[in-house]
Structure 1
Amino acid sequence: MLKTPLGRFRAVALAEGLSFVVLLFIAMPLKYGAGMPLAVKYVGWAHGLLFVLYLFALMEAAIACRWSLVRAVGAFIASLVPFGTFVLDARLRREEQATSIQPAP
């Protein structure tokens, strides 16, 4: 999975999406509900790092796979929506499977 630009992008996207969900649904409630601001500090720091890695991996995958600007922007927007990277990964996996199944001409 990590040998291709698309594989690296998918791996980083899953990690970034998971960190976003943890930040929103675990760390933020801990900060405001239980008075534990360190949860947001550390999870937020990790999420920020993963978001930057996501942007670099997106750029690499978009160039290597020759994605259109619309597709690259859509992948960027997926990182801003909770669970968006999971939906994007499912779509990329389906496309990858569809292209590997088609017989060669």
Structure 2
Amino acid sequence: MLTLFRTTAILEGISYLALFAVTMPLKYLADLPMPNKYVGYAHGVLFIAYVVLAILFWRTKKWGFKKGFILLLASLLPFATFYVERKYLAPIAD
């Protein structure tokens, strides 16, 4: 489960950045909406997967409210899933 959660955290962060840094400018500046649609769908699926896995992982590890809140908050902030993966998940894997 740890490997799946780590992978999902990284992919969710990449999809978030791709959506807002790459496909949104393509949509609004170059009038190319299709990449935004597909990356948006992928980001939506990865976002939901991240939140579900974060809750499951939080419950499995019996972490306190603070760590659980950080895991969930990270899904809303750019770059934050990378932080969570490095700060909270990578040390467990080592």
TM-score by length of 2: 0.90
- Native 8 Å contact 1:6 1:65 kept in 2: no
User: Whole-Å Cα distance in 1 between the matches of residues 58 and 71 of structure 2?
Assistant: 9
What is the CA-CA distance between 1:96 and the residue it aligns to?
Answer: 2.2
- Native 8 Å contact 1:9 1:54 kept in 2: yes
Aligned to 1:82: 78
Residues paired across the two proteins, number: 93
Name the structure where helix makes up a greater proportion of residues: 2
Percent identity of equivalent pairs: 35
User: Whole-Å Cα distance in 2 between the matches of residues 39 and 57 of structure 1?
Assistant: 27
Aligned to 2:69: 73
User: Whole-Å Cα distance in 1 between the matches of residues 65 and 72 of structure 2?
Assistant: 10
What is the CA-CA distance between 1:41 and the residue it aligns to?
Answer: 0.9
The structure, 1 or 2, with the larger RCO (C-alpha pairs under 8 Å, 6+ apart) is 2
- Native 8 Å contact 1:16 1:50 kept in 2: yes
What is the CA-CA distance between 1:6 and the residue it aligns to?
Answer: 2.5
Indicate whether 1:11 and 2:7 are aligned.
yes
User: Whole-Å Cα distance in 1 between the matches of residues 39 and 83 of structure 2?
Assistant: 22
User: Whole-Å Cα distance in 1 between the matches of residues 92 and 52 of structure 2?
Assistant: 21
What is the CA-CA distance between 1:63 and the residue it aligns to?
Answer: 1.2
* Structure 2 residue corresponding to 1:27, chosen from 23, 28, 46: 23
Residue aligned with 2:76, SS: coil
Q: Deviations over 1:18-53 (max 9, x none)?
A: 100100100101011100111211110110011111
RMSD: 1.4
TM-score by length of 1: 0.81
- Which is further off, 64-73 or 12-21? 64-73
Indicate whether 1:47 and 2:7 are aligned.
no
Aligned to 1:57: 53
